[in-house]
Structure 1
Amino acid sequence: MSVLFRRALLCLLWLWLPASWAADSGWLRAPDNQHASVRLRTGAPQGENRVNLLLDIKLEKGWKTYWRSPGEGGVAPSIRWNSDGINARWQWPTPHRFDVAGITTQGYKGDVTLPIELQGRLPGRLSGVLTLSTCSNVCILTDYPFQLDLASPTGPQFAHDYARALGQVPPDQGLTRTLSAGYRSGELVVTATRDGGWHQPELFLDNPDDASFGEPDYRVEGSRLTATVPVSDSWGDEAPDLRGQHLSLVLADGDMAQQSQLTVGEAGQTASGSGVGLWQGILAALVGGFILNLMPCVLPVLGMKLGSVLQVQGQSQRQVRCQFIASAAGIVVSFLALALMMTLLRLGNQALGWGVQFQNPWFIGGMALVMALFSASLFGLFELRLSSGATTRLATWGGNGTAGHFWQGVFATLLATPCTAPFLGTALALALAAPLPVLWGIFLALGIGMSLPWLLIAVWPTLALRLPRPGRWMNVLRTVLGLMMLGSALWLLSLLALHIGRGAAFGLGITLLVLLLAAIARRYGWRTAGISASIAVLLVGGVLFGASLTSEKRPLRDEVNWQPLSEQAIRQALADNKRVFVDVTADWCVTCKANKYNVLLRDETQKALKAPDVVALRGDWSRPSAEITAFLNRRGSVAVPFNQVYGPGLPQGKILPALLSREDVLNALSESKGKQP
C-alpha cells in the first residue's frame, strides 16, 4: 500500500511541476465516458495577445457531438477558462444533420477538428475545462480539465494541421450566385441560385434566441433551390416574426459549402411558385379562374347562370348588360373579400388555404340552407319579395332585380372554392406567400377570370336574347335547376357528418326532403308530391345503376393500405429505399372525389399502389389540421387535392397535377424507382 501511495503522490506532484505543462494536452478521456477522446493543442503566440488553438475530437462509431447550433436538442462544445479576459473565436467545419425520433440535430460524427482563435489577456499558461456533449442512444455531458503552456515549442505539424482545419471551414462565398431569406407565417424560406445546379443541398441554420427551426424541405428547379423551414418558438408554440432579424447559416452541396449572414425579409413566393413571376402568376390566375366555370363542383353555379338567363326574355340589351355586369361584380367582389380574409389570417399568423371555410360546420350548414332555399324557389314554392320602395329603387338602378344577380355571383364564388382547377394552384401558392399588394392583385385576376363568361354576355347581350321564346320548356328547365340545387344542398349536409355525426346529418337530410315534399303537396297537391317523390327515387336509382354499369367488372374498392401522413414517414420510407405516394384529400373537395373514382380506385392504379416497395400516405384535410396545413405550405401548396411521389429516383419529390390521370400516377411511380442495379 505504501508503494502505491508514494506513486500516486509522485504523479500528483508531477501534474503541478512546470515540466508537465506543454503546448499539447495529450488525449484526454473521462472515466464515465469511454466513447470520446479529446486533445487541445496551441501554436506559437501571434504577438502578445493572440494564439491559435486546435480542439481534436475522436468519437467511437455510433456517437456524435454537436455544431455551434445543435438544433432541436444537444449542447454545443464550450470552454470555461480559468483566466479572465480571454476571447475565443470558434471556427466550425460543415456539420451533418441527424434525425432521431422526429428530433433534428446538427453536429459531427467520427473525427473532427475545431480551430479556435484566442485573443485578449493571455497568460503564459492556459487552463480551463472543456465541456463536450456526446450522444448515441443516450447522451453524456463530460468535463475535461486541461492545461497548456504557451511558452512550449511547437513544431511545423501544428501549423499544417491548423491550416488543414481552416480548410474545412466554409468560406463566405463561392457556392451561390444569389442567396436570400424570407419569412411567412410559421416558415422561413431560403432561396439560392447556383450556376452548376444542385445535387445534394443541405441547409444548417443558427437558431435565434426566441425561435427554433425544424428540418428543411428542399425543392430544386434548375439552378434555383428553395428550402422551406418550419419555425416555432423555443417551446414549440407559435413562431415569432423573424422579418428584419439577422440570420446566420451554412448552405452546402456535396463537398462545397458556404456560410452567410442574411437579413430576413418577406417570403416572396413558395416552392411551387419558384421561377413564376408576377405576370405569369396573374395569367395563371385568369386562366384558373375561367376554368373554375368548367369544374364539376361548379354545376350549381351553372344552374344560377341559366336561371338568370331565363329572366332576360323580352328585355332590352341595356337591361341584360346591367344584369350580367352585376353578376360579374358579385364574383369579383367575392374574390376581393377572400383576399381580405387571407390578409387578416396572415396578419394574425393563422393558417392559409383555399376552401378552408368548408372545414367550418356553421358555414357548411348556412350554405346548405341557402341551396335548399334556391331549390324551393326554383320549384315555385315561394318567391323572395321586397317592399315596394326597395323594388322601385332596384328597378331604377339596374332593372329587374340587379341585386339578385350580384348575389348570384357571390354564391357562385363560394361554391367554387372547394375546387382546385389547373393553373389555380400555381396562382394561389404565389398569392398567399407574396407581399399583400401582389396577393390582392392575383385574387382580383382570379375574380376577373371566373367572371369572363358573364362579361362576355355583358359585352354581347344578343347572345342571351337569342334563346328560344318562353314556353313550357322553361318550367322543365326550372325543375332541372331546382334538382341541381337540391343535390348541392344534400351534398353539403353530407359534409356535416364529420362534425355532427352520420346519424344527425342523415336525419337533417330526411327532414329537408320531408319538408320539401310537404311544401310541394301544399302548393300543388298530394298527387304532384307523390309523383315528385317517385321521380326522385327513380333518378337516384338510375344514377346508382348507371354508375354500376360504367364502373369496371367489379365494384370499386380501395384495397390500398393507407398510412397516416407525416414527414417522418416519408423520411423513413426513403431510408428504407422505398417509394412514397402522398395523397392529401378532403370530403368537401369535389376534385378529390373525381381523382379518387376516376384514377385511384382503378385496378391498374390500385395494383401499383399495393406494390411491396410502395408506401401510401394519406392526409385528411376535411377538418382543420395544423400538421397538414404546414405540410402543404412547405411544398408551396394551399389547396387540395395534393399528390406527390417520392423514391430513389425522386428524392426531392414530384408534385402531380391537381386533376390526376392514371398515366400521371403510373409514370411518376415508375420514375421514382430510379436506376435499378
Structure 2
Amino acid sequence: MALSLLAAPGLRAQEPRFGDENIAVSLFADGAPQAGEEWMLALQFRPSGPEWHGYYANPGDAGQGMDLTLDLPDGWTMGEPIYPVPERLVIAGLMNHIYEGEYTVLVPVRVGADASALGRAPLSGFVTYLACTDRICVPQDARLEARQGGDFARWRAEVAPLLDREGGFEVIGETLRIAIPLPADLALGDPHVFLREDDLGGGARVDYAAPQRFLRKGNLLVAEIPLAGDGSGEGGIASLSGIIGFGDGQGLRFEAAPQAIPLDGAVPLPSDAALPSLWLLLAAAFAGGLLLNIMPCVFPILSLKALALARAGGDETAARRDALAYTAGVVLACAGLGALVMALRAAGQQVGWAFQLQEPGVVLALFALTAAITANFSGLFELPGFAISGQGSSTGGSFATGLLAALVATPCTGPFMALALGAALVLAPMEGMAIFAALGLGLALPFLVIGFVPAIRRLLPRPGPWLERFRRWMALPMGLTVAALGWLVWRLGGWPFLALAVLVAILVVAGAIVLLGRRSRFGWAALAAALVLGWWSASQPVAREVTASESLLDPQPFSQAALAEARASGRPVFVWFTADWCVTCKVNESVAIEREATRAAFEKAGVVSLRGDWTRRDEAIASFLADQGAAGVPLYLWYPPGSEARQLPQVLTPEALPALARAAPPAP
C-alpha cells in the first residue's frame, strides 16, 4: 500500500488533462517485436474537422511540436519520430509548419535482447501536442495503448524517406547554407527546407518567414536560409537534420554535418514566382536600355555622339562603321558587367547590378574620368578621333565612347529593367548573357538607326560654329555628374578621400592638357602620378560608415529581424532599398517618398517604414534583393497586414504611397 501511494502522483501526472477531441490520436504497432531488431510504431492523427491542423517536430514561428514518451522495458530505445512532408502556413507574417487533414508519424523502437519483456500487456505511452485553427490553439494529450493493425505500407510511403548520403552545412554571417546531395536531373518543383532543429547554437535562429534561396552545383542542391542572428557566439550544433520538400507532399529527409560549402560553379534556381518567357524578358531589357538614353548622366555623351555622326555627312560607309563600333562597345560593356556579376554570385559573393559603385576605388576612377570629360567639353584639350570631342570620330573612338556610355549608365535603372535584370541572375548563364546583351542593344539602338538611315542623319543640325558652343554647354550637365560623384566619394570615405580624389582628377586633366599639347614628357609624368596615387588611394581601407540621411518617414534600418517584427505587429509595412549612387532612387525619394503628404498618410495608417541602404556592399541586403528577384536598387515593397509583399514599380508617382496608406485597414 505504501509503494502504491508513492507511485500515485507519477501515475496521475500521465493521465490526460485536455483530451484529444479536436485531433484524435491512435497508436499502432507493426506486428510483434523481435529481439535486437527495429519495431515500427505509428501515431495516427485524425482532425475532427478541416479547420484543425497539427504541427511538424519544429513548428516554425508559432505552434508546438509533439512530445511523446513510451513505457519501454529496460534495454529498449525509442528513435526519432519520422514525419511526412509538412505544409507552410503564414499568418500575420509568422511561418508555421503544419499538417492539414489526417497524417501519421512513424516511431521506430530498437528492441532489446529480451523481446518478451513487455509480457502480455500492450505497449503504452503518453503524448502531448497542439491542435490549432487559423484563430485559436488548443492543447491536446492522450494516454496511448498500442494495438496491432494499421496500413503500415501506406504510412511508410507517406513519410519523407531518408537520403542515403550525408549533406553539409555552415553558418556564414546571418545565413545558414546547407548542401543536400540530390541528383542533378531530379525535378525540384517548389523547394523548401523544413529544419528539425530550431536553435542552431551561438545565438543563431532560423528566420522562417524569410524567403529561402536555392542554387544547383552538380549533384548538390545548396539552400541559403536567412537567420535571425549571426551565429558568431560559441556552442554551434554538431549536426543538422530536416526535410527538403518539393511541393504536393513530396520530399526527402536529410542529415548534415558541419563543413565548408564553396559556391564556385553554382547556378541560382528561379524563385517560386514563375518567370515570364525569355522573349518577354529580352524585350523588357531592350526597352530598359532604350530608356537609358534620356538619363541625365548619359545624355551629354550621347548628344555629342549624335553630332559626331552628323559630321560624317554623306560618307555612308564611315557612318555605318562608326555606329557599329559604338554598338559593339556598349553591348560588350553591358555583357561584361553582367558576366562579372554572375561569376561573382556563383562564387558566393552577394553582389547585384551596379555593384562596382559600392567600391571606393571605382568611384574615385569615375570621378577622375568624368572630370576629364568635363574638361574636354570645356575645350581645355581635344582627343583626336574620340566621339565626345564633338569632332568626326574614328572607329576606335566610337568603340571607346560606347564603353564609356554603358559604364556611366550603370547606376540608372528604369521601369522595365527590374524584372529582366533580376531574371538574368537566376536563369541559365547563356540566357542571362542574352538579357544583358539586349540591354546594351537597346542603349545603342538610336545610333544604329542614325548610322544606317541617311534620312534621319539629314535631320540632324548641320555642323557650324554653334557646335562648339553647344559642346561647351554640355560641360554643365557633365560637371553636375562630377559634383554628384564627388559627393559620393565624400559619403564613402570622408574629406580625406575626397581630397585625394580631387588631386587625382587634377593630375589626370593636367596630364591630358600637357600631353595633347605635345609636351609628352610632362603629360605622361602627370598621368603616371595620377595612376599611382589613385591606386594607392583605392588600396587603403576605408573604415568610414555611410550614415543614413534624414527622412520624413523616420524609417528603421532594414534587417530580417526588424521586418519580421514589423509584420508581426499587424500594421502595414513599407520597405525601400536605396543607395547614394542610384539616380532613380534619389529621384523617387524626392518625388514620392520624402513628401509631407506621404508622411501624414503613413502616420494616419500606422505604417511601419524600413530602409535598406546599399551604398556600401551589404550581404544581408544583397541576399534579400536576390530572394525578391531584384538585381539591384531601387526596390520598394508594401506589406499589407497579414499578407505577403507587393512589389511596387521602380518609378514611383507622387500619389502612389499615400494611396496605399489610405487603402490600408485601420492600425491596431
Common fold: TM-score over 0.5: yes
The equivalent residue for 2:337 is 338
Q: Is the 8 A contact 2:59 2:97 kept in 1?
A: yes
- 456, 459, 462: which is aligned to 2:449? 456
- 541, 555, 568: which is aligned to 1:562? 555
| Residues 76 and 331 (structure 1), Cα distance of their counterparts in 2 relative to 1, 3 Å cut | farther
Deviations 1:188-214 (A, max 9, x none): 999858xxxxxxx99734579999964
Q: Quote the Cα distance in structure 2 between the aligned partners of 1:166 and 1:575.
A: 42
For residue 290 of structure 1, report the CA deviation from its aligned partner. 1.4
The equivalent residue for 1:370 is 369
Q: Quote the Cα distance in structure 1 between the aligned partners of 2:299 and 2:465.
A: 23
| Residues 119 and 29 (structure 1), Cα distance of their counterparts in 2 relative to 1, 3 Å cut | closer
RMSD (CA atoms) = 5.7
For residue 27 of structure 1, report the CA deviation from its aligned partner. 6.3
Question: Which deviates further from its counterpart, 292-301 or 592-601?
Answer: 292-301
Q: Is the 8 A contact 2:81 2:106 kept in 1?
A: yes
What secondary structure does 2:414 align onto?
coil
Question: Which deviates further from its counterpart, 443-452 or 294-303?
Answer: 294-303
Q: Quote the Cα distance in structure 2 between the aligned partners of 1:44 and 1:104.
A: 33
Q: Is the 8 A contact 2:193 2:245 kept in 1?
A: yes
What secondary structure does 2:374 align onto?
helix
AA partner of residue 488 (structure 1): T
Deviations 1:497-546 (A, max 9, x none): 122215753796699699989999xx9xxxxxxxxxxxxxxxxxxxxxxx
Once the two structures are superposed, the pairs formed by residues 13-24 of structure 1 within 5 Å of their partners are: none
The equivalent residue for 2:653 is 661
- 67, 73, 81: which is aligned to 1:90? 81
Q: Is the 8 A contact 2:576 2:610 kept in 1?
A: yes
Q: Quote the Cα distance in structure 1 between the aligned partners of 2:580 and 2:144.
A: 71
Question: Which deviates further from its counterpart, 350-359 or 113-122?
Answer: 113-122
Q: Is the 8 A contact 1:91 1:166 kept in 2?
A: no
The equivalent residue for 2:21 is none
| Residues 517 and 439 (structure 1), Cα distance of their counterparts in 2 relative to 1, 3 Å cut | closer
- 596, 611, 614: which is aligned to 1:618? 611
| Residues 616 and 289 (structure 1), Cα distance of their counterparts in 2 relative to 1, 3 Å cut | same
Once the two structures are superposed, the pairs formed by residues 630-649 of structure 1 within 5 Å of their partners are: 630-648=623-641
Stretches of structure 1 lacking an aligned partner (at least 5 in a row): 1-5, 16-24, 58-64, 135-154, 174-184, 194-200, 220-227, 238-245, 524-555
Q: Is the 8 A contact 2:335 2:437 kept in 1?
A: yes
AA partner of residue 375 (structure 1): T
Q: Quote the Cα distance in structure 2 between the aligned partners of 1:597 and 1:409.
A: 31
The equivalent residue for 1:317 is 316
For residue 424 of structure 1, report the CA deviation from its aligned partner. 0.7
| Residues 594 and 400 (structure 1), Cα distance of their counterparts in 2 relative to 1, 3 Å cut | closer
Deviations 1:116-136 (A, max 9, x none): 2547677222599999999xx
AA partner of residue 599 (structure 2): Q
Q: Is the 8 A contact 1:218 1:652 kept in 2?
A: no
For residue 114 of structure 1, report the CA deviation from its aligned partner. 5.3
| Residues 512 and 656 (structure 1), Cα distance of their counterparts in 2 relative to 1, 3 Å cut | same
What secondary structure does 2:554 align onto?
coil
What secondary structure does 2:573 align onto?
strand
What secondary structure does 1:490 align onto?
helix
Deviations 1:417-443 (A, max 9, x none): 111111111111111011212111211
Once the two structures are superposed, the pairs formed by residues 164-179 of structure 1 within 5 Å of their partners are: 171=158
The equivalent residue for 2:435 is 442
| Residues 317 and 301 (structure 1), Cα distance of their counterparts in 2 relative to 1, 3 Å cut | same
For residue 318 of structure 1, report the CA deviation from its aligned partner. 0.9
The equivalent residue for 1:289 is 289
| Residues 479 and 69 (structure 1), Cα distance of their counterparts in 2 relative to 1, 3 Å cut | same
Q: How many residues align?
A: 540
Question: Which deviates further from its counterpart, 623-632 or 500-509?
Answer: 500-509
AA partner of residue 562 (structure 1): P
| Residues 635 and 126 (structure 1), Cα distance of their counterparts in 2 relative to 1, 3 Å cut | farther
What secondary structure does 2:643 align onto?
strand
Q: Is the 8 A contact 1:45 1:52 kept in 2?
A: yes
Aligned-pair identity (%): 27
AA partner of residue 7 (structure 1): A
Pair 1:357-2:356 in alignment: yes
Pair 1:589-2:579 in alignment: no
Q: Is the 8 A contact 2:298 2:405 kept in 1?
A: yes
Q: Quote the Cα distance in structure 2 between the aligned partners of 1:444 and 1:232.
A: 36
The equivalent residue for 1:629 is 622
Q: Quote the Cα distance in structure 1 between the aligned partners of 2:381 and 2:124.
A: 87
The equivalent residue for 2:277 is 277
Deviations 1:264-317 (A, max 9, x none): x9544235x6231222212211112212223344334434524533643x4611
AA partner of residue 319 (structure 2): V
The equivalent residue for 2:116 is 124
AA partner of residue 31 (structure 2): Q
Deviations 1:551-586 (A, max 9, x none): xxxxx9942221111222232223222111111111
Q: Quote the Cα distance in structure 2 between the aligned partners of 1:281 and 1:236.
A: 38
For residue 651 of structure 1, report the CA deviation from its aligned partner. 1.0
Q: Is the 8 A contact 2:381 2:512 kept in 1?
A: no
The equivalent residue for 1:499 is 492
AA partner of residue 341 (structure 1): L
The equivalent residue for 2:31 is 46
What secondary structure does 1:611 align onto?
helix
Deviations 1:472-512 (A, max 9, x none): 21111110122222221221111011222157537966996
| Residues 283 and 172 (structure 1), Cα distance of their counterparts in 2 relative to 1, 3 Å cut | farther
AA partner of residue 418 (structure 2): G
Q: Quote the Cα distance in structure 2 between the aligned partners of 1:95 and 1:590.
A: 44
The equivalent residue for 1:151 is none
Deviations 1:437-468 (A, max 9, x none): 21112112212122111211222144334433
Structure of higher CA gyration radius: 1
AA partner of residue 364 (structure 2): G
Q: Is the 8 A contact 1:86 1:119 kept in 2?
A: yes
The equivalent residue for 1:197 is none
Q: Quote the Cα distance in structure 1 between the aligned partners of 2:146 and 2:508.
A: 92
Deviations 1:611-643 (A, max 9, x none): 351111111111111121122122111211111
| Residues 67 and 383 (structure 1), Cα distance of their counterparts in 2 relative to 1, 3 Å cut | same
| Residues 283 and 27 (structure 1), Cα distance of their counterparts in 2 relative to 1, 3 Å cut | farther
| Residues 247 and 295 (structure 1), Cα distance of their counterparts in 2 relative to 1, 3 Å cut | farther
The equivalent residue for 1:308 is 308
Q: Quote the Cα distance in structure 2 between the aligned partners of 1:515 and 1:44.
A: 83
AA partner of residue 251 (structure 2): S
Pair 1:606-2:599 in alignment: yes
Once the two structures are superposed, the pairs formed by residues 155-554 of structure 1 within 5 Å of their partners are: 171=158, 204-205=194-195, 214-217=207-210, 230=225, 236=231, 248-249=243-244, 258-261=249-252, 267-270=268-271, 274-306=274-306, 308-309=308-309, 311-312=311-312, 314=313, 316-384=315-383, 400-502=393-495, 505=498
Q: Is the 8 A contact 2:598 2:658 kept in 1?
A: yes
What secondary structure does 2:637 align onto?
strand
